[in-house]
Structure 1
Amino acid sequence: MRIIKPCTYTVLSLALASVTQMTMAQDAHHSMPMSAQHELHSSLDSSHQEMQTGIESSQIEHAEHAEHAEHANVSSIASRAASAQHPVDHKREHGGQIYQATEIDSRWLNNADGRGSLKTEIESRIGTDENKLFIKLHADKAESQDADYAAQVMYSRMISDFWDAQIGARYRVDEHQVTDKEQLDAAVGLHGLAPYFFETDAYLYLGAEKQVSFSLETERDLLLTQKLILKPYLNLDVVLSDDSAYAQKTGLSAVWLGLETRYEINKKLMPFIDVAYSYEKGNQHTAWQAETGSEKQWWYGAGVRLKF
């Protein structure tokens, strides 16, 4: 209908004009001399030819439009069919790309007695949004003592928009112990963003000699400015059971509650100061160690965080 309508209007307009002209010409024909009548016939013939030419031109033009529209429809159908047979893979544009990130956190803390401790943590992750590999390294060295080490490797699978389920293993080395210095634990847990934007890691560890423990680390950034940021954090360990030679008391074993204030020089270099309160429940009495009581103390210090 869109193609036929303009053509119909054009034909009717030209026909109406021709009939009007012919009527007027017939009325004047009888009152005109022979020479004028001859000129009038020539004019009518010319108008008739122009009308025919206009109709033919309009028909050709609309036929070309119809042909162009038909070709466009055929091309569109062919394009949709080709897309259905060979769908475009947008996986890389929607989280399918592999990325890598590493964070190094090193801080020196002192307690009220002036005893210092160096804590270093390295976390590296590689993979896609859905599947990642987490590698975590931890070193804790008290002043004038040997360091304790822990390495954790976890496979991480996204289970919702804000949470990953993780499974893997943890390897520990404690130089303070005479026996069983090295321990290997199975680990399962969750990594993600809890309500109110608390970044959270929660793990359950299963080791030899009925060593079962739970750890929770959670923190949140509070922006004072775009570069000056407060970060309250909470780290706690709960011992569910332990029959090892250096067993810890069951229940809430250790708590670190702190407030970190950092200044982001850029997204790769971030120095900070730290104030924290700690609680440690102590160890059980075994053949290899004496029972120890709980300790509560304040810590303060500074450190630097690197990201790349």
Structure 2
Amino acid sequence: MRIIKPCTYTVLSLALASVTQMTMAQDAHHSMSMLTQHESHSSHDSSHQEMQTEIKSSQMVHTAEHAEHAEHAEHAEHAKASSIASRADSAQHPVDHKREHGGQIYQATKIDNRWLNNADGSGSLKTEIESRIGTDKNELFIKLHADKAESQDADYAAQVMYSRMISDFWDAQIGARYRVDEHQVTEKEQLDAVVGLHGLAPYFFETDAYLYLGADKQVSFSLETERDLLLTQKLILKPYLNLDVVLSDDSAYAQKTGLSSVWLGLETRYEINKKLMPFIDVAYSYEKGNQHTAWQAETGSEKHWWYGAGFRLKF
């Protein structure tokens, strides 16, 4: 049996320890390398998975957008088809909207009946009827007038006109006037052409202006204007002006040319309702008179104050 010396034993121990340390270091390095490689592979796998998730999300978004676009296109095609079908149905079955835009036919009639007396005690009954029927743009306009002085025959006049709206406040009118004058021995009946305007003048004056053309160079102009002034909702003042101008007249009963007659008055009415309205009237009149002809003597002008009352009907 060989005996190992202490020094030799020491050297062997140191060598064995060094080999052991080197082996442990190599194992630790190998373990760290394996761990690093594993973490690297794990990170690469995670990045790959995230990329795949993003790709799938992008594909899903694109798919949803494509589906949405397809749905919008389908809705647009459906709306277009519905519009075409609606137009075709409207063409086959047109809808009349005239009633909603002023195309309806309506009728209105006003009757004025008044008894007036002057300072001389002479009385006169005046009746006026105005009726219209049609739409806002086109109307048949009728005016009737009767004037009966006390103890005398009545004079009548009737106008029938076509009325056409030419602006928001004015209608142009054209038609004919038929009149009867019982004071005349001959030519009691006359027929005149009429052209004029009916509407609302500035400051709310309701106005009728007419030009009359008749036989024997009878040309005249008439103007009627009035305005309502409300004292209350039912008590109303109405100043009015009626005048006639003779431009020419070569008839057997010719009137003097120029301003022929004027009525300037003030009416005060009380509206019981919109259909019945009694009133009192005060007016001043001027009549120029007639020319001298083979059938009549010349007459001078006359001026009178008139007082009276009456009533108005609307329906």
TM over 0.5: yes
Q: CA deviation at 1:250?
A: 0.1
Q: Distance in 2 between matches of 1:3 and 1:190?
A: 156
Q: Distance in 2 between matches of 1:7 and 1:243?
A: 174
After superposition, residues 205-224 of structure 1 pair within 5 angstroms as 205-224=212-231
Q: CA deviation at 1:89?
A: 2.3
Task: Between 88-97 and 228-237, report the one with greater CA deviation.
Answer: 88-97
In the alignment, is the contact (CA less than 8 A) between 1:281 and 1:293 conserved in 2? yes
Deviations 1:77-134 (A, max 9, x none): 7546755775532111111111111111000000011111000011111111111111
Q: Relative to 1, partners in 2 of residues 1:36 and 1:149: Cα closer, same or farther, differing over 3 Å? A: farther
| TM-score w.r.t. length of structure 2 | 0.74
Aligned counterpart in structure 2 of residue 136 of structure 1, from 119, 139, 143: 143
Q: Relative to 1, partners in 2 of residues 1:217 and 1:26: Cα closer, same or farther, differing over 3 Å? A: farther
Aligned counterpart in structure 2 of residue 260 of structure 1, from 261, 267, 283: 267
Q: Relative to 1, partners in 2 of residues 1:76 and 1:279: Cα closer, same or farther, differing over 3 Å? A: same
Deviations 1:199-243 (A, max 9, x none): 111100011111000000011111111111111100000000001
Aligned counterpart in structure 2 of residue 116 of structure 1, from 103, 114, 123: 123
Deviations 1:236-284 (A, max 9, x none): 0000000111110000000000010101101110000000011111111
Runs of 4+ aligned residues of structure 1 deviating over 2 Å after TM superposition are 1-59, 61-89
Paired residue secondary structure (1:235)? strand
Q: Relative to 1, partners in 2 of residues 1:304 and 1:5: Cα closer, same or farther, differing over 3 Å? A: farther
| TM-score w.r.t. length of structure 1 | 0.76
Q: Relative to 1, partners in 2 of residues 1:288 and 1:62: Cα closer, same or farther, differing over 3 Å? A: closer
Flag structure 2 segments of 5+ consecutive residues without an equivalent.
Answer: 60-67
Q: Relative to 1, partners in 2 of residues 1:84 and 1:275: Cα closer, same or farther, differing over 3 Å? A: same
Q: CA deviation at 1:63?
A: 11
Q: Distance in 2 between matches of 1:5 and 1:99?
A: 146
Give the percent of matched residue pairs that are identical in Structure 1 and Structure 2: 93
Q: Distance in 1 between matches of 2:28 and 2:149?
A: 123
Q: Relative to 1, partners in 2 of residues 1:150 and 1:14: Cα closer, same or farther, differing over 3 Å? A: farther
Task: Between 37-46 and 49-58, report the one with greater CA deviation.
Answer: 37-46
In the alignment, is the contact (CA less than 8 A) between 1:3 and 1:66 conserved in 2? no
In the alignment, is the contact (CA less than 8 A) between 1:149 and 1:174 conserved in 2? yes
Q: Relative to 1, partners in 2 of residues 1:73 and 1:151: Cα closer, same or farther, differing over 3 Å? A: closer
After superposition, residues 93-108 of structure 1 pair within 5 angstroms as 93-108=100-115
Q: Which residue of 2 aligns with 1:55?
A: 55
Deviations 1:53-93 (A, max 9, x none): 9999999x999999889867865675467557755321111
Q: Relative to 1, partners in 2 of residues 1:65 and 1:177: Cα closer, same or farther, differing over 3 Å? A: closer
Flag structure 1 segments of 5+ consecutive residues without an equivalent.
Answer: none
Paired residue secondary structure (2:203)? coil
Q: Distance in 1 between matches of 2:7 and 2:90?
A: 37
Bigger radius of gyration, 1 or 2?
Answer: 2
Task: Between 246-255 and 7-16, report the one with greater CA deviation.
Answer: 7-16
Q: Relative to 1, partners in 2 of residues 1:257 and 1:82: Cα closer, same or farther, differing over 3 Å? A: same
Q: Distance in 2 between matches of 1:7 and 1:242?
A: 171
